[in-house]
A = this chain, B = another copy of it.
Amino acid sequence: METLMNDTEDQPLSAQASVQEQLRSLEEEVKEYKDKYLRLLAEIDNTRKRMQKEKQDMTRFAIDNALGELLGPIDNMENALKFTERMSEEVRNWAQGFQMILGQFRDALGNHGVVPFHSEGTAFDPNWHHAIETEETDKIPEGTIIQEFVKGYKSGDRTIRPARVKVAIAPGKNKGPTNPIENEQ
């Protein structure tokens, strides 16, 4: 470096310094764009993965919600068919066809993983159940579901519709203002 500076008579020192400056500045610029480029390369990959995941979640969510709207008419059909048990043979025969059609509606839900879950006799869980009634009893453990009024449905780990249930509570707790189950509602 020293030799270079001393030997160059026709090359002013300031010019050399400026060339060195230029080199440094360009090197910095290269580094900067290279960094930016590599960061963006990582980002585009993350964006792709994230959006792929979002796409799947959204699709799943959209199907679950659309199929969830069928639970009302399916409930109504189940309830209407229960009544036929007490009716004439003509109605009962005819109801068999509707029982089959009800099965087809259930299958359409089941094909997409939307299935009912069993609640009676299980422990109350606010993620899966809505307590709409309580009953004082010392015959079964507190928090046990005594009766299911409306069937719950799920899709994988997701609740499509919580079951509406009656829950056992310990005797004397019914009037308590801090009843945790009543607070769930």
**A interface list, Cβ under 8 A from B:** 3-4, 7-8, 10-12, 15-16, 19, 22-23, 26-27, 29-30, 33-34, 36-37, 40-41, 43-44, 47-48, 51-52, 54-55, 58-59, 62-63, 66-67, 69-70, 72-73, 76-77, 80, 84, 87-88, 90-91, 94, 97-98, 100-101, 104-105, 108, 111-112
Contact = CB atoms under 8 A, between A and B. Distances in A.
Nearest to A80: B97
Contacts of A76: 97, 100-101, 104
Contacts of A98: 77, 80, 98
Contacts of A108: 66, 69-70, 73
How many subunits of this chain does the assembly comprise? 2
Contacts of A4: 11, 15
Contact of A51 (B23, B55, B66, B104): B55
A11 B15 CA distance: 11
Contacts of A87: 90, 94
Contacts of A84: 94
A80 B66 contact: no
A50 B5 CA distance: 57
The 4 A-B pairs at the shortest CB distance, nearest first, are namely A33-B33, A73-B104, A26-B26, A51-B51
Contacts of A70: 70, 105, 108
Nearest to A12: B8
A101 to B, nearest CB: 5
A43 B45 CA distance: 11
A51 to B, nearest CB: 4
A43 to B, nearest CB: 7
Contacts of A37: 33, 36-37, 40
